[in-house]
Every structure is written in structure tokens, then in C-alpha cells.
Amino acid sequence: MNGFMITVSSLFLAFVISRVSAIWTWVGVLVLSAQVLSHFLTFIVNPGIPDRTKTGHPHCSKCGLPRDATKGILHCDFCGVCVEGLRHYRDKQRIGFNHHCPWVGKCIAKNNLVLFYVFTVCTCLLVAYIFVAAAVSS
């Protein structure tokens, strides 16, 4: 899914770039580069999988990782591991990991949530750029 998304964006961007001015070209390349970089960083950062060597906490029956109840650790059935959650400041409770993202192919949790937001914003900007550049070029 990751390669498909980047390939389609790159091909359509290449089509649009050939029809717009130099400033629009650089804007498109910058937005696409930011999207690809944020996607890559979201993918490689550990979302919050706990260290397997910790002792003194109960372990998950599915994956065997330690599950500290005070850290809001939940099991992700897609990845097959437990992921440390996020702190919800409104009611002072941890809500577990955010979600498993099929576009990134990884859990989104406390360590890669900001990168995921950057990726989402860059993707929206890229879609907006493609629509505006297509309208300007025609």
C-alpha cells in the first residue's frame, strides 16, 4: 500500500509538473518530499512497543510482552505486539494506542503520533496542490 500511494502521487505530480511554472514545480517537489519523508519516519519509529527485558510486570497472554497497567499498554491484533498508549489529559487516563494505520503499515501511538500528523497534513497538502496545479495548468 505504501509503494502504491507514493508511486501514484509521484506519477501524477510528474504529469502536473510538466505543465506548470517553475515555482509550482518547486512547491510540488517540496510537498511530495515532505510527505515521503514523514511517511518513512512514521514507519521506522518505534510506536511504543515495550522493552521485552522488563521484569516485574504481568505479561500479555498473546505476545509475551510486559503489560504495565499504568502505561495503558494494549495489544494490537494486526502487528501481534503490545503498544504503549497515549495519555488523555482530559480525564487523566491512558487510552491505549491510537490505531493501526493501513497506509503506514504500523501502529500509531505515543512515539510516532506527531510524525503521523505531519504525514497526514502533507498528504492533504499534496492532494490540494495537485488539484490547484491541475486547474492552473489547464
| Annotated catalytic residue within 60, 76, 82, 101 | 101
What's the average model confidence in pLDDT over 85-93?
53
In the predicted structure, residue 48 carries a pLDDT above the cut 80: yes
**Mean pLDDT score of the chain, rounded to an integer?**
78
In the predicted structure, residue 74 carries a pLDDT above the cut 90: no
3-class DSSP assignment, residue 12:
helix
What's the average model confidence in pLDDT over 52-73?
73
Instruction: Write out 32-85 in H/E/C secondary structure.
Output: HHHHHHHHHHHHHCCCCCCCCCCCCCCECCCCCCECCHHHCCEEECCCCEEECC
Is the pTM for the entire model greater than 0.85? no
Q: How many other CB atoms sit within 10 Å of the CB of residue 117? A: 13
Rounded distance between C-alpha atoms, residue 100 and residue 94, angstroms? 17
Angle at 66 between CA 63 and CA 67, to 5 degrees: 95
Higher pLDDT, 115 or 52: 115
Query: Does the active-site annotation cover 101?
Result: yes
